[in-house]
Amino acid sequence: MLGKDGRLYDSDFDFDGDGELDGYESAVMDDVIFGDGADSEENYEMEDELEEAGLDSLELECMDEDERREAIEDAGFDPDDYNFD
């Protein structure tokens, strides 16, 4: 389905079945497809904190959980504050 802004939309997001996506339906679709912007900002902040401490978030993702916890603790952070799932 083609929206008023020219973007293609999935009819699964047309909750009221009127053939058009209203603001709410568009917002839900955007959140599902592109994710929540707040989550991205939180991830950037986490990466910045780790980088400032000399840790690489990509390397941490490749470590097993025990190694990752130890590296984060050694950098002076609480490993429970960081989610790599």
Residue 68 gets the label, from left (phi > 0), alpha (psi -120 to 50) or beta, of: alpha
Q: Is 31 in the same domain as 55?
A: no
> Residue 9 pLDDT > 70, yes or no?
no
Degrees, nearest 5: CA angle 5-10-15:
95
Where on the phi/psi map is residue 19: left (φ > 0), alpha (ψ -120 to 50), or beta?
A: left
Same domain for 45 and 22: no
Instruction: Indicate whether 55 and 19 sit together in one domain.
Output: no
Residue 3 has pLDDT above 80, yes or no: no
Least confident of 9-13, 37-41, 48-52, 76-80: 37-41
Do 50 and 31 share a structural domain?
Answer: no
Are residue 71 and residue 48 in the same domain, yes or no? yes
* Confidence label for 73 from pLDDT (cuts 50, 70 and 90): very high
| Conformation bin of residue 39: beta by default, left when phi > 0, alpha when psi is -120 to 50 | alpha
The whole domain housing 67 covers 37-81
